[in-house]
Structure 1
Amino acid sequence: MSTRPARKGHSAGDDLLPWIIPGVAVLVGGAFTGAWLGGTLGAAVSGAGWNPPPFSLETLATLVKDGPQELWPTASSGAVTAGIATVFGVFVALVITLIVLVRGRVKRPDGLAGRKELAGMLPKGAAERARALRPSLAGTTKLDPDQTGNLLGNLEPNGPELRSSYEDVELDLMAPRAGKSTGIAVPRVLRAQGSVLLTSNKADVYSVTRAERERAGRVWVFDPQGIAHTPRGMWWDMLADAATIEGARRLAGHFVGAVNDDASKRDFWISAAQNTLTALFHAANRGGRQIDEVLTWLADPADRTPIDLLRDAAMPALADQLQGTIQGAVETRDGIYETARQCAACLLDPAIAAWVTPDPQMPQFVPEQHALSQDTLYLLSKDGGGSAAGVIAAAADSVLRAGVVAAERMGGRLDPPMTAILDEAANVCRISDLPDLYSHLGSRGINIVTLLQSYRQGVRVWGEAGMDALWGAATIKLLGAGLDDADFVEKVSRLVGEHDVSTISYSKSKDGRSRSTSYRLERILPADRIRALPKGTALLLATGIKPAMVRLRPWYAEPGADRIQAAAQAEVKAITARAAEKAFQ
């Protein structure tokens, strides 16, 4: 048998000729059946009784030649026509519904996960996991969906909602205006069961969620640069975290990280500046001094006050190290101190320093209390030069570590869990060891979500190794619209995998026609399809589960959105009014 060669006068349409006659017969038969049934029903409804004409070719000929009135002479012609139209309308509606369902199923490429693979994330599976992870739910017969896990979205095309568990940690990569705020950040804040931490460089999530979170607990707004133009109503003791050398080093690292793009590439000056800031922060803590004095020490390397404070606190090694830096070559000392000044430059702004300086007239934010509450902390900062990113990162890190300590005291896990959303993490919340923290935050009941615009943006902050570690530690990954990094998208395409695609071919020989099927491997989601994901959809990569396609559920499409929208509009007006008032001052 050989494949039929192309020949003159033959086209692909010739292969369709054997199907034309059966197709026309089915079409005519279906139309006649609908007219016969519809006319009979219309006549019966009009009072002429149930008198169907014979279902035969002769009836068909009469219908075509003389019309329906000849078949149902005692019935109203309007009723007969209406009956036929109704039957055909129902038939068309059924066909359209079938087409929509079929097209909906086609939306999900073969090879992606379905209900069976995602059973643990469906409502029943999520409820079972929540009961196992949260002892407080043991006696609850019916759980609210938000008690069972974090809403990720709906399984495409028409599947149920999917929820991650309270021990999952999440990394989301989406381009700007792809749904990060409306489909992820806002819903997570609104649905949170315990305390909330949110970082951002915009006031959009804050304005939408503030009123709702005030119904759950106290709202703390840390806004040193006036993102939401919120008057200062709190202070946080930043130097409290420098009570130990480890804490002081972490605090110094946040300020260094705010000006150093790649945490894995620190030159001599950056490392030396971090050591110097570590000594100064620890000296201030042990000596009961404040930020303004730390800035004074930075401005005058010859000031021996921090050295004396460290010696008084029985920290001779750290005091000797700081003294060695001060007594070193003038060029080296000045270079180290100048680098340290640049790292802590944001504290030179009195408006920023006031937020981290004790103020008896203002309530104090205490991370240890926040971790066990249902309060909300909004950490807002600009990005770029002069931002308070170092302070924001330090505050976020303090809250996360307080949550870990609280979880350990509760037996290992916070219940209800803490929700931490690090929006614009690469710009305003550069926690240098965030990839390492990811490995155990989930097991402590801290649901952390890091939102980035691209994989490359994370590499710029944490380096290739750090971003790879963050990617590997995240048990839930959502990849949304607008990912334009060709190498990364190709990598994801390979991770999604391949599937068998069948190809049908026909051949003709002297013995007749034959049909054969061959198979080839093809990418489930080629790179171009991943890049072109529609807004509002995301590729879900969950540990131990095949990739799935989900549709995000924006807050404005959920029940109660009208109330939230009205509160958000009122908050936006208040922000605008405060901004105008400041402009005239």
Structure 2
Amino acid sequence: MSSTRKAGPGAGEDLLPWIVPGAAFLIGTMFLGAWLGGTLGAAVSGAGWHPPPFALSTLSTLVEEGPGPLWPTASPTALAAGMATVFGAVVAVITVLILLVRRRLTAPTGLAGRKELAGLLPKGAARRARELRPGLAKLGKITPDDTGNLIGDLEPRGPELRSSYEDVELDLMAPRAGKSTGIAVPRVLRARGSVLLTSNKADVYSVTRAERERVGRVWTFDPQGIAHTPRGLWWDMLAEAATIEGARRLAGHFVGAVNDDASRRDFWISAAQNTLTALFHAAQRGGRPIGEVLAWLADPADRTPVDLLRDAGMTALADQLQGTVQGAVETRDGIYETSRQCVACLLDPAIAAWVTPDPALPQFFPDRHVLSRDTLYLLSKDGGGSAAGVVAAAADSVLRAGVVAAERMGGRLEPPMTAVLDEAANVCRISDLPDLYSHFGSRGINIVTLLQSYRQGSRVWGESGMDALWSAATIKLLGAGLDDADFVEKVSRLVGEHDVSTVSWSRSKEGRSRSTSYRLERILPADRIRALPKGTALLLATGIRPALVRLRPWYAEPGADRIATAAQAEVKAITARAAERITTR
């Protein structure tokens, strides 16, 4: 990347030769305006078209005696009105020219402009949307939200940029940098199909719930009372363990919730996952509830899961589980204790109830959800006692159901599904998410993962896993407050360098001489990336030079007043439910 700009102490002296021509141009422009305005004013008032000579003598008369001698038959009011009209038009034209020049000069040097971002501009987004979504061909005019996801406005003054529904996104921003207001909330509000949202707070839920109820059913999975919503559904978690692969994935979510790095699993963690895989599969094949899995973990000598596996014809898995039970006592107890720690959240009846069959409540079916326009909120606290394992399992179930549905529909979901994994490193640790990421985009599952930093993702998926997630994301937004020096320096190198010219002047006996030298300089040094203002982000899109964008928070968009009123009512309802829960304890 290269561009050229002038810098240095001699830059101001370059303007000296332009002072006289500039003054002459200004005087000439003012004279032309007065001459043309007076002539027009006289003609409109009925005095006829009699322009005086366009000469210095006319300028001298105008300055010394005013417009009267030049247009003697016209009224002074008409002359003044004509001149004011012309001067106003000239000022308007000059103002527009200044704004255009200023816009060009203030555009970030070396970053992508409209030409490079043509595929993300409204026309390009609409063209791609018609190619990816054949159903749009029946519509004469499609709405902007049907063409793709709103990213934001290109700095400094637009236009808006949109990613396609086959793009998958990774956003890194510090807390209170605009993740919720500028990304999560707008994505949920603007979604065209089903929605999946994970979070450890009720902010996005409170803003979007009422709006999403206008287009479909709202399912709120809130086992730890983030929004203090009463239990209104149950999900058959063990249905995911119908196959050994599904049981292993289910076990992996609970293991991942207590293990920071999937690439550094020791013997006890790996053995615990194997044991949970066998127990989950035994419970599913035997039609047993999750409570019995906890009972088997509490009593390793219980042969029920081994018998259930043998009855289901899973002899090898039964033998493996029996080998663990009959192994050395110290080893067996270590494995079972690690397994118990992984599923400790299910010891809380308030959490286990959400994944236990309840005929009095509707059942949530992931395969039905992905084909609807419904919304699923998966809420969980992070830290000790977290239901993150359950939330990760539910999110993974919906995502995989979306893939299956897309395959049945010919390759892509229509309309596309929106998945916003907010606080993914805390409440939605899907261990193989980096490997699946690009696959989701090709299936019409528009997924965005929100993290506070690159290092936060590395702690969950390991360095190689986070690198894979970074590489798979076709859209990356880097917002304010990124304090990881190594990562920010890496991004600065990715943005690139440009040529900077420095003008220097020297004096000698022969006179003054000017020289220009060039040097390479970072387009965005690391300190500028770290100091990005709140509400702005660096856009890294596949195959396009980096660009600066300004996020568009939901409260600055049309209809925000109605949404804000509903959000306030929801916050009051959450507060009332929280107070009632405290009172009844």
Q: TM-score scaled to structure 1, two decimals?
A: 0.90
> Which residue is 2:268 aligned to?
269
* 8 A contact 1:475–1:542 mirrored in 2: yes
* 8 A contact 2:10–2:504 mirrored in 1: no
Q: Give the 5 Å matches for 1:217-296.
A: 217-296=216-295
What one-letter code is carried by the residue in structure 1 that aligns with 2:258?
A: V
Q: Aligned pair 1:122/2:113, yes or no?
A: no
Give the drift of 1:509: 6.8
Query: Match of 1:450, SS?
Result: strand
1: CA distance between counterparts of 2:12 and 2:441?
A: 61
Query: Match of 1:400, SS?
Result: helix
* 8 A contact 1:221–1:230 mirrored in 2: yes
1: CA distance between counterparts of 2:233 and 2:66?
A: 84
1:254-307 deviation line (CA, Å, top 9, x unaligned): 111111111111122211221221121111111111111111122222222222
> Which residue is 1:395 aligned to?
394
2: CA distance between counterparts of 1:88 and 1:165?
A: 47
> Which residue is 2:152 aligned to?
153
What one-letter code is carried by the residue in structure 1 that aligns with 2:301?
A: A
* 8 A contact 1:109–1:525 mirrored in 2: no
1: CA distance between counterparts of 2:90 and 2:483?
A: 45
* 8 A contact 1:108–1:549 mirrored in 2: no
* 8 A contact 2:170–2:470 mirrored in 1: yes
* 8 A contact 1:283–1:306 mirrored in 2: yes
1:456-514 deviation line (CA, Å, top 9, x unaligned): 11111111100000001111111122222121111112112223333445566777766
1: CA distance between counterparts of 2:16 and 2:118?
A: 47
2: CA distance between counterparts of 1:87 and 1:263?
A: 72
* Equivalent residues, number: 576
1: CA distance between counterparts of 2:454 and 2:250?
A: 26
Residues 11, 252 of structure 1: CA spacing in aligned structure 2 closer, same or farther, 3 A cutoff? closer
Give the drift of 1:216: 1.8
Q: Aligned pair 1:438/2:437, yes or no?
A: yes
1: CA distance between counterparts of 2:194 and 2:416?
A: 7
Residues 523, 323 of structure 1: CA spacing in aligned structure 2 closer, same or farther, 3 A cutoff? same
* 8 A contact 2:497–2:522 mirrored in 1: yes
Q: Give the 5 Å matches for 1:49-198.
A: 55-65=54-64, 87-198=86-197
2: CA distance between counterparts of 1:252 and 1:443?
A: 27
1: CA distance between counterparts of 2:46 and 2:88?
A: 22
Query: Match of 2:352, SS?
Result: helix
2: CA distance between counterparts of 1:584 and 1:103?
A: 61
2: CA distance between counterparts of 1:501 and 1:383?
A: 48
1:391-437 deviation line (CA, Å, top 9, x unaligned): 00000000111111111222222121111110110111010110011
Q: Give the 5 Å matches for 1:302-451.
A: 302-451=301-450
* 8 A contact 1:239–1:284 mirrored in 2: yes
Give the drift of 1:317: 2.2
Report the more deviating stretch, 114-123 or 476-485. 114-123
1: CA distance between counterparts of 2:479 and 2:10?
A: 44
Q: Aligned pair 1:564/2:563, yes or no?
A: yes
Q: Give the 5 Å matches for 1:455-494.
A: 455-494=454-493
1:328-383 deviation line (CA, Å, top 9, x unaligned): 33332222222222211111111111100000000000111112111111101111
1:126-153 deviation line (CA, Å, top 9, x unaligned): 2332222223233333222222222222
Give the drift of 1:521: 2.6
Residues 202, 305 of structure 1: CA spacing in aligned structure 2 closer, same or farther, 3 A cutoff? same
Query: Match of 2:499, SS?
Result: strand
Residues 17, 297 of structure 1: CA spacing in aligned structure 2 closer, same or farther, 3 A cutoff? closer
Residues 269, 210 of structure 1: CA spacing in aligned structure 2 closer, same or farther, 3 A cutoff? same
Residues 406, 19 of structure 1: CA spacing in aligned structure 2 closer, same or farther, 3 A cutoff? closer
What one-letter code is carried by the residue in structure 1 that aligns with 2:195?
A: V
Query: Match of 2:376, SS?
Result: strand
1: CA distance between counterparts of 2:241 and 2:250?
A: 7
Report the more deviating stretch, 350-359 or 300-309. 300-309
Q: Aligned pair 1:205/2:204, yes or no?
A: yes
* 8 A contact 1:167–1:443 mirrored in 2: yes
> Which residue is 2:520 aligned to?
521
Residues 20, 401 of structure 1: CA spacing in aligned structure 2 closer, same or farther, 3 A cutoff? closer
* 8 A contact 1:115–1:159 mirrored in 2: no
Provide the identity percentage.
84
What one-letter code is carried by the residue in structure 1 that aligns with 2:404?
A: V
Residues 145, 25 of structure 1: CA spacing in aligned structure 2 closer, same or farther, 3 A cutoff? closer
2: CA distance between counterparts of 1:256 and 1:177?
A: 30
* 8 A contact 1:261–1:460 mirrored in 2: yes
Give the drift of 1:215: 2.1
Give me the CA root mean square deviation: 2.8
2: CA distance between counterparts of 1:117 and 1:470?
A: 25
Report the more deviating stretch, 450-459 or 310-319. 310-319
Give the drift of 1:228: 1.1
1:13-52 deviation line (CA, Å, top 9, x unaligned): 8776554443443344444444555556666667776666
1:226-251 deviation line (CA, Å, top 9, x unaligned): 11111110000011111111111111
Query: Match of 2:449, SS?
Result: strand
1:189-248 deviation line (CA, Å, top 9, x unaligned): 122121111111111211222122222221111011111111110000011111111111
What one-letter code is carried by the residue in structure 2 that aligns with 1:255?
A: F
* 8 A contact 1:120–1:126 mirrored in 2: yes
What one-letter code is carried by the residue in structure 1 that aligns with 2:184?
A: A
2: CA distance between counterparts of 1:187 and 1:52?
A: 60
Query: Match of 1:216, SS?
Result: coil
Report the more deviating stretch, 50-59 or 529-538. 50-59
> Which residue is 2:551 aligned to?
552
2: CA distance between counterparts of 1:567 and 1:459?
A: 38
Query: Match of 1:138, SS?
Result: helix
* 8 A contact 2:11–2:503 mirrored in 1: no
Query: Match of 1:387, SS?
Result: coil
2: CA distance between counterparts of 1:314 and 1:13?
A: 86
Query: Match of 2:138, SS?
Result: coil
Report the more deviating stretch, 438-447 or 334-343. 334-343
2: CA distance between counterparts of 1:535 and 1:102?
A: 26
2: CA distance between counterparts of 1:135 and 1:53?
A: 66
1: CA distance between counterparts of 2:324 and 2:460?
A: 28
> Which residue is 2:3 aligned to?
none
* 8 A contact 1:42–1:81 mirrored in 2: yes
Give the drift of 1:548: 2.2
2: CA distance between counterparts of 1:147 and 1:23?
A: 50
1: CA distance between counterparts of 2:415 and 2:446?
A: 11
Query: Match of 2:373, SS?
Result: coil
Report the more deviating stretch, 75-84 or 392-401. 75-84
Report the more deviating stretch, 96-105 or 476-485. 96-105
2: CA distance between counterparts of 1:148 and 1:320?
A: 54
2: CA distance between counterparts of 1:18 and 1:574?
A: 70
* 8 A contact 1:258–1:430 mirrored in 2: yes
2: CA distance between counterparts of 1:172 and 1:529?
A: 18
Query: Match of 1:354, SS?
Result: helix
What one-letter code is carried by the residue in structure 2 that aligns with 1:552?
A: L
Report the more deviating stretch, 370-379 or 466-475. 370-379
